[in-house]
Copies of this chain bind each other. A is one copy, B any other.
Amino acid sequence: MPKLNMVQAINLALREEMQRDKNVVILGEDVGRDGGVFRVTEGLLEEFGAERVIDTPLAESVIAGSAIGMALYGLKPIAEIQFMGFIYPAIDQIFSHAARVRSRSRGRFTCPIVVRAPYGAGIKAPELHSESTEALFCHMPGVKVVVPSSPYNAKGLLISSIRDPDPVIFLESTRLYRLIKEEVPEGEYAIPLGKARVVQEGKDITVISWGSMLHRSLQAVGGFDAEVIDLMTLNPFDEETIFKSVKKTGRVMIVHEASKTGGFGAEISATIAEDEILYLKAPIIRVTGYDVVMPLPKLEDYYIPTVERIRKGIEEAMKY
Chain A residues with a Cβ under 8 A of chain B: 61, 85, 88-89, 91-92, 95-96, 99-100, 103-104, 127-128, 133, 135-136, 138-142, 235-236, 258-259, 261-275, 277-278, 280, 282-286, 290-293, 295
Contacts of A270 in B (CB 8 A): 265-270, 273, 284, 286
10 contacts between A and B (CB under 8 A): A88-B96, A91-B91, A135-B262, A136-B139, A139-B258, A139-B261, A262-B262, A274-B284, A274-B285, A278-B283
User: Do the beta carbons of B92 and A88 come within 8 Å of each other?
Assistant: yes
Question: In the complex, which of the residues A128, A261, A278 has the most CB atoms of chain B within 10 Å of its own CB atom?
Answer: A261
Across the interface, A259 reaches (CB within 8 A) one of B85, B133, B139, B271, namely B139
User: Do the beta carbons of A141 and B96 come within 8 Å of each other?
Assistant: no
Number of copies: 2
- A128-B96, A141-B291, A293-B99 given as contacts; is B269 within 8 A of A273 (CB)? yes
Among residues of B, the one whose C-beta sits closest to the C-beta of A275 is B283
Q: Give CA–CA (A50, B96) in the complex, Å.
A: 32
Question: In the complex, which of the residues A262, A283, A284 has the most CB atoms of chain B within 10 Å of its own CB atom?
Answer: A262
Question: In the complex, which of the residues A140, A236, A286 has the most CB atoms of chain B within 10 Å of its own CB atom?
Answer: A140
Q: In the complex, given contacts A133-B140, A273-B283, what are 7 additional A-B residue pairs having Cβ atoms less than 8 angstroms apart?
A: A104-B127, A266-B270, A269-B274, A270-B270, A273-B273, A274-B284, A277-B280
Among residues of B, the one whose C-beta sits closest to the C-beta of A283 is B277
User: Do the beta carbons of B283 and A141 come within 8 Å of each other?
Assistant: no
User: Do the beta carbons of A95 and B88 come within 8 Å of each other?
Assistant: yes
Contacts of A127 in B (CB 8 A): 100, 104
Q: Give CA–CA (A292, B235) in the complex, Å.
A: 13
Contacts of A285 in B (CB 8 A): 274
Lowest 10 A-B CB distances belong to which pairs?
A: A139-B262, A269-B270, A88-B92, A103-B293, A266-B270, A273-B273, A266-B266, A266-B267, A273-B284, A138-B262
Contacts of A268 in B (CB 8 A): 270
A82 to chain B, nearest CB (A): 14
Among residues of B, the one whose C-beta sits closest to the C-beta of A60 is B92
Q: Give CA–CA (A258, B262) in the complex, Å.
A: 14
Contacts of A89 in B (CB 8 A): 61, 89, 92
Contacts of A140 in B (CB 8 A): 133
Question: In the complex, which of the residues A236, A277, A278 has the most CB atoms of chain B within 10 Å of its own CB atom?
Answer: A277
Q: Give CA–CA (A293, B274) in the complex, Å.
A: 23
User: Do the beta carbons of A135 and B139 come within 8 Å of each other?
Assistant: yes
Q: Give CA–CA (A268, B269) in the complex, Å.
A: 10
Q: Give CA–CA (A288, B273) in the complex, Å.
A: 15
Contacts of A291 in B (CB 8 A): 141
A88 to chain B, nearest CB (A): 4
Among residues of B, the one whose C-beta sits closest to the C-beta of A290 is B141
Contacts of A274 in B (CB 8 A): 269, 283-286
Contacts of A286 in B (CB 8 A): 270, 274
